[in-house]
């Protein structure tokens, strides 16, 4: 067992249940297809990393992706509780450095994830800031449960409030590159993921925005 762990949160690709904000513009099928592409990118990036991985699914375990990794179901009433449970499980299993990412980031890479892990050598907590004010990556070398409690999930002040709280607790924090996830149609068409990918352009062109 390695001392490092990568946790990946995956929403099950269920029509009408993924990328609902994006679906308002390109429909449920389009959003489903876009999210499926993002999950594939995340799987490809993470499997290049030589460390243990825990895959946490939103509803049911999918045996067809991340075939050789340990898989779980997310537990908790909100995102914070779900992340806290996943981290606690990792620490309980003996891991020393744990990084958690989602699966909707088109620019996620082996290098980004490894940078997050490397920051934990001299920082208590590490974040990968998202352009919308949240974060796409969080890493810890020990449990800081307060990070997950009473937070404005999915709001643009999430990271700012979390950083303010950690500063008050005298915790050292590392920040890696700011990246943009895909939540809305505007996010999508502004991204290189869309601009440089004929498959993604084709998905969008099959909608009312053709």
Residue 195's CB is within 10 A of a number of other CB atoms, namely 11
Q: What tokens were used for 24?
A: 């308002």
Is 207 within a domain?
no
pLDDT surpassing 70 at residue 186 = yes
Please write the tens of the pLDDT for every residue from 153-162: 888 999 999 9
Residues 6 or more apart from 105 whose CB is under 8 A from it? 38, 41, 42, 136, 179, 180, 181, 182
Burial of 127 by CB count in 10 Å (0-12 exposed, 13-18 middle, 19+ buried)? buried
Mean pLDDT value across residues 115-143: 95
Is 210 within a domain?
no
Is 154 within a domain?
yes
Q: How far apart are CA 81 and CA 96, in angstroms?
A: 20
φ and ψ of 82, to 5 deg: -65, -45
Q: How far apart are CA 182 and CA 159, in angstroms?
A: 17
How far is Cα of residue 70 from the mean position of the Cα atoms in its chain? Answer: 17
Is 53 within a domain?
yes
Q: Give the range of the structural domain holding residue 42, as residue numbers without chain letter.
A: 4-202
Q: What tokens were used for 4?
A: 């490092």
Please write the tens of the pLDDT for every residue from 29-81: 999 999 999 999 999 999 999 999 999 999 999 999 999 999 999 999 999 99
**Residue 155 is part of a domain; what is its CATH number?**
3.90.550.10
Is 208 within a domain?
no
Is 49 within a domain?
yes
What's residue 208's pLDDT?
56
Contacts by 158-166 with C-beta closer than 8 Å and gap 24+?
Answer: 158/133, 158/134, 159/127, 159/129, 159/130, 159/133, 159/134, 159/135, 160/133, 162/127, 162/135, 163/127, 166/124, 166/125
How many domains are contained in the chain?
1
The answer to whether the CB of 117 falls within 8 A of the CB of 99 is yes
């Amino acid at each position: 067992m390695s001392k490092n762990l990568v946790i990946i949160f995956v929403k099950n690709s269920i029509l009408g249940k993924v990328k609902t904000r994006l679906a308002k513009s390109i429909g449920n099928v389009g959003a489903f297809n876009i999210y499926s592409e993002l999950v594939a990118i995340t799987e490809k990036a993470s499997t290049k990393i030589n460390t243990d991985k825990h895959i946490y699914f939103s509803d049911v375990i999918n045996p067809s992706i991340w075939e050789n990794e340990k898989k779980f179901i997310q537990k908790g009433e909100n995102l914070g509780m779900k992340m806290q449970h996943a981290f606690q499980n990792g620490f309980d299993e003996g891991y020393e450095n744990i990084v958690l990412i989602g699966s909707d980031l088109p620019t996620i890479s082996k290098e980004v994830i490894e940078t997050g892990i490397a920051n934990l050598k001299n920082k208590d907590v590490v974040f990968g800031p998202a352009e919308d004010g949240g974060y796409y990556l969080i890493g810890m070398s020990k449990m800081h449960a307060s990070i997950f409690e009473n937070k404005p999930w999915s709001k643009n002040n999430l990271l700012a409030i979390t950083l303010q709280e950690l500063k008050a607790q005298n915790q050292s924090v590392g920040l890696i590159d700011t990246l943009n996830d895909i939540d809305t149609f505007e996010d999508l068409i502004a991204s290189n993921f869309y601009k440089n990918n004929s498959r993604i352009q084709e998905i969008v062109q099959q909608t009312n925005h053709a």
